[in-house]
Structure 1
Amino acid sequence: MQAINKARISLILLFLIGIMACTMNNNGGPSPAVPGNNEPDTTSNKPLGGPVRIRIGTTSFIATLQDNPTVTAFRARLPMTVSMSELNGNEKLYNFPTSPNAGPLPTNASNPRTITTGDLMLYGSTTLVLFYKSFPTSYSYTRLGRIDNPAGLEAALGSGSVTVSLELP
């Protein structure tokens, strides 16, 4: 009986060592993702784009922006104060005007499957969306960032249109 258990443990260890050998590069670290190998694209979701302050009336929130080309173009438009409209009882939206000086933002849309309270997204290339309720979705968005602590966001946004200021702290 002990011989069978030792054999099982040996096989499991060999299996684990084999898996580790297949996923390590020569430096002992994980192998880099290779384009076209069906690895998920996480480059658009890195939280390295820095903070943005979102002011709604007398209430302020800090959001952490992603590190992607959309955020780079978005940050170039800050500071801005916009009137955001109500949509679906769970989000506020603002349509950026398009002009030769301020065209659409670059996009890398994907379906997040679930919207989380405090998500700041771009729908299409010209619609800024701030979500104040969590829910499942079938729509695709380009993630800009997320409010770090969204407690009180729904109350601050209220119902109907609201004036929202976005600025770099």
Structure 2
Amino acid sequence: MNVNNRMIIMMAVSVMSALSACADDQNGTSNSPIVHESLTQKTSPSNTEQGISEKEQMNMWMMINGHRFEVTSEDNATANAFAAQLPLTLNMEDLHSNEKHAQLPNALPTNASRANTIHNGDIMLYGSSTLVVFYKSFSSSYSYTRIGRVSQPDKLADILGQGNVQIEFSRD
């Protein structure tokens, strides 16, 4: 690994540490416990240094009440870090009757920008550790980091329902 790559990695670790220290102030607290997290997943050195391949990014899935949705992942460090945590099952709380949210077990790298318009099916990160699945489209002044998008979100609102829901995220 050359000196430039080492410097970039050291800077990224420093930024992530600083952002995770501020995460509680941005996100507030949540009672959304993690139900299941795979501890058997192994990360190979090539995945750690090069990120997750494009093919793996395209194979993320979201399972809700027996309904499986394909998730097209963004090509960014946040989506790669999220995919590395999978499989993951979260109890997601409803907020404003347009989104489900939960705290992730580990903070993710961020590159937040003002969303302006949220679309049904957007999957985003608020702060550094709050995963949000949007099931209605609306205007927003909040900043998020994009993780991915549900490929066919037409029935997402009906399946998610009005209350809290358990969602399983996987890469297979």
Deviation at 1:111, TM superposition (A): 0.9
Establish whether residue 88 from structure 1 lines up as the match of residue 96 from structure 2: yes
| Corresponding residue number in structure 2 for 1:114 | 117
Establish whether residue 138 from structure 1 lines up as the match of residue 146 from structure 2: no
| Corresponding residue number in structure 2 for 1:161 | 164
Deviation digits for residues 125-166 of structure 1 (CA, Å, limit 9, x no counterpart)? 010000000000000000001001001101111111100000
Task: Name stretches of at least 5 consecutive residues in structure 2 with no aligned partner.
Answer: 1-53
Rg larger in 1 or in 2? 1
Deviation digits for residues 24-81 of structure 1 (CA, Å, limit 9, x no counterpart)? xxxxxxxxxxxxxxxxxxxxxxxx5323110001111101001111111111100011
- Report the count of equivalent residues: 117
| Corresponding residue number in structure 1 for 2:43 | none
Q: Equivalences for 1:8-157 in 2 at 5 Å?
A: 48=54, 49-97=57-105, 102=106, 104-157=107-160
Query: 2: CA distance between counterparts of 1:138 and 1:154?
Result: 22
Query: 1: CA distance between counterparts of 2:149 and 2:93?
Result: 19
Give SS of 1:108's match: coil
Query: 1: CA distance between counterparts of 2:124 and 2:76?
Result: 12
Query: 1: CA distance between counterparts of 2:126 and 2:171?
Result: 22
Query: 1: CA distance between counterparts of 2:150 and 2:80?
Result: 18
Stretches (4+) displaced over 3 A: none
Query: 2: CA distance between counterparts of 1:78 and 1:67?
Result: 17
| Corresponding residue number in structure 1 for 2:35 | none
Cα RMSD of the aligned pairs, angstroms, is: 1.0
The one-letter amino acid of 1:163's match is Q
Higher normalized helix content (fraction of residues)? 2
Deviation at 1:90, TM superposition (A): 0.3
Give SS of 2:159's match: helix
Q: TM-score, normalising length from structure 1?
A: 0.67
Give SS of 1:117's match: coil
Task: Name stretches of at least 5 consecutive residues in structure 1 with no aligned partner.
Answer: 1-47
Higher normalized strand content (fraction of residues)? 2
| Corresponding residue number in structure 1 for 2:38 | none
Q: TM-score, normalising length from structure 2?
A: 0.66
